[in-house]
Each structure stands twice: as C-alpha cells, then as structure tokens.
Amino acid sequence: MINPQEMTGQDLAFELPPTRAISLPHVGRQSKYSSRWVFTRLFLAVGLALFVRSRHRVRVFGEVPNRRQSTLVLANHQHDLDGLVIPSLLNLQRPLGRPVYCVASQRLFEPGFFAVRMSTHFLSMLRRWNFAKLFAGVGVLPMENQPLSRPDASLAYEIMQECGNVRLEDVFTSAALTRYRLRKGARLRALWNRANAPLALTDGALRNLKPAFRQFIRDRERFVIEHQANQLASTLEQGETLFLLPEGRYSRDGRMAPLRASLEWLLPLAEKVYLFAVSYDVFRSQRADFVARVVSFEPRAYSGAGGQPLQALATSLKAARPVTFSQLFSQFVSSLRGAHDANRDVSFSAGEVSAAVSRQMAELPATVFVDPELVHDLSGVVHSALANLRRRGLVRSERGRYRFTDIGGKTRDFPGVQDIIRYQSNMLQETVRAGVTALTGRALP
C-alpha cells in the first residue's frame, strides 16, 4: 500500500506499471457470462420497465432485431430515463438469453451514487452503499466520463483503493476542505458522513487535490480508461450487444454534444449498429413523455479514405429524432418572443398554436419523422397539451388566450435546463438541419 506521507510530485510522475502492479478500482470486471445472474437481470429489467411505465409515458417506433451478434446500440442523451428505458427494452427482448451490456458512468460503481438521485429521506441510508457487484453481474460496464470534474467523494474513493483511509488534510487542499464540517484529523471516509455527503457526492474538481495526488489521479486515470476501453472492445469482439450514450453527458440546451472520439474505433468491431433517436414531449402530459425511433446505421459506408463515420453517425442520430408537439410549439413561442428577447411576455390562442404547428409540419423535410399522434390528431394534441400546461401552472388562461407564468418555461422533468422553450426549439432546428443534410448531402450553415 502506498504511504501518502512519502508521496511527492516527483514520485508520482512515474511510468504506469503493468496491470498486476496497480489495483483497479471496483469497475466491475467483465467475466464470462454466468447463468446465475440471469434471473437477477430479468427481475431488474421487469422492475425497471414497470417502474418507468408507471411514472412516465414510453413510446418506441421500430426495434432492434432479436437475433443479433456483435451489435452496438447508441442513443442521444437528455435524461436519466435514457439509461433506464433502453436497456430494459433490449433485455426484455430475450429475457433468458445473453445480457445486453450497458456502458454507464464510473460514478455508478462508487458509494453513494443513488443517495443524491433519490429523495433526501434515502440520503442517510444510501450514502455509503456501493452496488458495483450487482451492476457488474447484470452486464453494466463502467467508463470514466468526468476525468477533470469528478465529485470530491469520487476522488477520495479512488485514492482509498491505493492509500487506505488516510487523513483528508494530506490529500485535499485546505481551501477545498473549508466547505465541509470536519473534525481535526478527519479521514477520507468523513466525506460520506451525513453532513458532508450531499456536497461531496455532487461537487468537486481535480484541482481540489494537493499536487502529488492530483498527478497520481491523472496517471492512474489513463491506465483505468485504457482498461475500460479494452473491456468495451472485448465485449463486441465476443459477439455481444453493447449499449452506450456516446455524448457522455446530458444535453443542457437541446443540442447534441460532440460524440466521444473513442467511439470511432468501436464502430468497426460491430457487425450491426442501431440508433435510438430520443425526444421528450415535455408539454403533452404531467408524466415525462419518452418518444424514440430506432434506425440502423452502416458505418462501413463511411470508412476508408476521406470517410467521416462519427460525423455521419451524429447527423443520422439528429435527423432520426422524432419531431414532437413540444418542439414545434416551442419554435412557435420562440418566434413570438423574437430572436434577442427570451424574457418577452407573449400570448397565444389554441387556434394560433394549431395553425403554427400545422404550418411547420408542412415545411419539414421529407426525411424527418413526426410523432404519429400529432399527425393524426393535431387539434386533440394541442388542446390536451394546453390543458396540461394549465394544470401544471406553467401557463394561465385569460379570455381564450394563454400566457406563461414562468417566462423561461422551466419544468421539473429537466431541472438542469434553464429555458425548456429554447431547449426544445434548439433541438427541432438541429433535427431539421440534419434532415436536410441527410436528404441533400449538403450541410446547412
């Protein structure tokens, strides 16, 4: 075990040793498929499906074929539901067969992950729990997606793997520790105490560490990420199905983030690639409305000299996302606000909304997929959505006209989004541009 008192910046700037010389964090090492986990996986898949459908509305158009080998399934990332709905659907397709391996954040394999994602009543109970063995057993594979902006508890947990429960003052800077309620000589485990866990599990940065440990984490992360990437490659080479969210983080403005460059070397290893293009019709009902479309993608068509498979994949994923009422409605509201005045108070009637949505649908490129419910019953969708917005207190009605009670249009389903109107409008514009590119082969400015 490493002695932190003897660590210096010079000591830690070392050539990383072979795997056997440095212990990996609890990342859920992939082993040969074991049938003893099949019923646990089935139970979790059924439980997730029932839970999600009891609280949310789920609609999926198309499917990934049941018989498949070496298959890569990708989706755009907007919400926690992305990582719950899609894996449960894929696993339930063949419940007694081999698992669908799902890539998740390394944070999922660390203590306290669920404590900050559930009610505060569960914080004291879950803040020290680590479900790494369970996740590894049912086919979840870790990937480090926050190399520079990890929570302090995550950094502390990784250091504990090598150094033990050492003193916090030996590891973190004094400025970082002033944010916590600590006794003199407190050790790393104190970050999971009731008073410190809410902050330690959600906030932090590599700069909070002292220089020696900062360098130690940097060097160790390169080794761990390489190991995790090899796991993903091995999964596809063995003919399995692998699901991942290639953006690596949520969209905060409705636009897709750049796809991780590491995806480019995974694509050739898959015989088939399928895209779950996901939208959320946030204004339709009080429950989050998950709407997805499944399409196939052929990366080999873009391989070779001059090929850009990642760019083509991103365009295909954007263009395949279902166009929903919320997107068209948000585009209409944005046009009323004006390009430079997001806080402008605007009013509208149900008839004006119907006319604007109908006009926009007629102008969409032929490659774009529109929610069938909107196509078949535009008037019904508009009236039910406006009634829902009133029930949720997002709009008020005055003599047949509607106004937003919150100009930004915030919603509890997307707490990190400051302006859900702009979010939905941005997503529609990006989908349309990608649809035009897919149709003409030329990108719009």
Q: Please write the tens of the pLDDT for every residue from 168-181.
A: 999 999 999 999 99
Q: Are 84 and 37 in contact (CB under 8 A)?
A: no
Question: At a CB cut-off of 8 Å and minimum separation 6, what does 37 contact?
Answer: 99, 137, 138, 139
DSSP state of 255: S
Q: Which of 259, 283, 315 is the last residue of a domain?
A: 315
Residues 102, 76, single domain; the answer is yes
Residue 329 confidence (pLDDT): 96
Residue 287 CB neighbours (<10 A) = 14
Residues 270, 384, single domain; the answer is no
Does any domain span residue 370?
yes
**383 class by beta-carbon count within 10 Å (0-12 exposed, 13-18 middle, 19+ buried):** middle
Taking only the tens place, the pLDDT of each residue in 122-152 is 666 778 888 888 888 888 999 888 877 899 9
Residues 273, 407, single domain; the answer is no
The pair of three-digit structure tokens given for residue 122, joined into one six-digit string = 């569960």
Domain count, the chain: 2
- Single pTM value for the model: 0.84
End-to-end CA distance of the chain: 56
The position carrying tokens 């003897």 is 6
Does any domain span residue 37?
yes
Provide the residue range defining the domain that includes 258: 4-315
Residues 417, 282, single domain; the answer is no
Residues 34, 158, single domain; the answer is yes
Residues 309, 396, single domain; the answer is no
Does any domain span residue 445?
no
Residues 227, 115, single domain; the answer is yes
Q: Are 103 and 241 in contact (CB under 8 A)?
A: no
Rounded distance between C-alpha atoms, residue 390 and residue 407, angstroms: 14
Does any domain span residue 261?
yes
The CA-CA-CA angle for residues 151, 160, 28, to 5°, reads 80
Ramachandran angles phi, psi of 42, nearest 5°: -65, -45
Residues 47, 109, single domain; the answer is yes
Residues 79, 183, single domain; the answer is yes
Does any domain span residue 166?
yes
Does any domain span residue 136?
yes
Q: Which residues face 72 on adjacent strands?
A: 242, 273
Q: Which residues face 220 on adjacent strands?
A: none
Residue 268 CB neighbours (<10 A) = 11
Does any domain span residue 88?
yes
Q: Which of 300, 315, 330 is the last residue of a domain?
A: 315
Q: Which of 254, 286, 315 is the last residue of a domain?
A: 315
* Nearest in space to 210 (alpha carbons), one of 254, 163, 261: 163
Residue 10 confidence (pLDDT): 41
Residue 226 confidence (pLDDT): 87
| Helix H or strand E segment including 306 | none
Which residues in the chain come in under a pLDDT of 70?
A: 1-35, 95-97, 117-124, 302-307, 339-344, 406-412, 440-445
Residue 27 confidence (pLDDT): 45
Residues 293, 384, single domain; the answer is no
Residues 254, 329, single domain; the answer is no
Does any domain span residue 206?
yes
Residues 279, 354, single domain; the answer is no
